[in-house]
Amino acid sequence: MRIAIAQQNYHIGNFDTNFAKIKAGLEQASQQGADIVLFAELAVCGYPPRDFLEFEDFISRSLTVIEKVKLETKRLGIAAVIGAPTLNPVVEGKDLFNSAYFIADGEILHIAHKCLLPTYDIFDEYRYFEPASDFKVVHYKGKKIALTVCEDIWNIGNENPLYVTCPMDEMMDQQADFMLNLSASPFSYSHAQDRIDVVRANVERYKLPVLYCNTVGAQTEVIFDGGSLVMDAAGRVVDEMPYFEEVVRTYELAPLLNPAPLTGKADLDESNELPKEKMALIYDALICGIRDYFGKLGFKQAILGLSGGLDSALTLTLAAHALGAENVRAVLMPSEFSSDHSINDSLELVKNLGCMHDIISIQHVYEQFRSTLAPQFEGTAFNVTEENLQARSRGVILMALSNKFGYILLNTSNKSEAAVGYGTLYGDMCGGLSVIGDVYKSECFELCRYINRNGEIIPNNIITKPPSAELRPDQKDSDSLPDYDILDEVLYQYIELRKGPQEIIDAGFDSALVERVLKLVNRNEYKRYQTPPMLRVSDKAFGMGRRMPIVAKYLG
Residues designated as active site: 41, 114, 150
In 3D space, the residue among 455, 457, 454, 474 whose CA is nearest the CA of residue 466 turns out to be 474
What are the residues whose beta carbons fall under 8 Å from the beta carbon of 321, sequence distance 6 or more? 287
The DSSP letter of residue 126 is G
Burial zone of 376 (CB within 10 Å; 0-12 exposed, 13-18 middle, 19+ buried):
exposed
CB 322 within 8 A of CB 295: no
3-state secondary structure of 307: coil
Q: Which long-range contacts (CB under 8 A, 24 or more apart) does 314-317 make?
A: 314/412, 314/436, 314/444, 314/447, 314/448, 314/451, 314/458, 315/410, 315/411, 315/412, 315/435, 315/436, 316/349, 316/350, 316/353, 316/355, 317/349, 317/353, 317/448, 317/451, 317/457, 317/458
Q: Judge whether 527 and 429 are in contact, CB under 8 Å.
A: yes
What's the DSSP call for residue 82? E
How far is C-alpha 149 from the geometric centre of its chain's CA atoms?
19
Tell me the residue ranges of DSSP E strands in 95-200. Answer: 96-104, 107-113, 138-140, 143-149, 178-183
Helix 511-523 × helix 484-495 angle, to 10°? 60
Determine the 3-state secondary structure of 257 from DSSP: helix
- The residue among 96, 49, 44, 86 whose CA lies nearest residue 65 is 44
Task: Identify any residues that bridge with 543 across adjacent strands, giving them in sequence order.
Answer: 546
Determine how β-strand 356-359 pairs with β-strand 328-332: parallel
What 3-state DSSP class applies to 143? strand
- Whether residue 25 contacts residue 6, with contact meaning beta carbons closer than 8 Å, is answered with yes
Contacts of 404 (CB under 8 A, 6+ apart): none
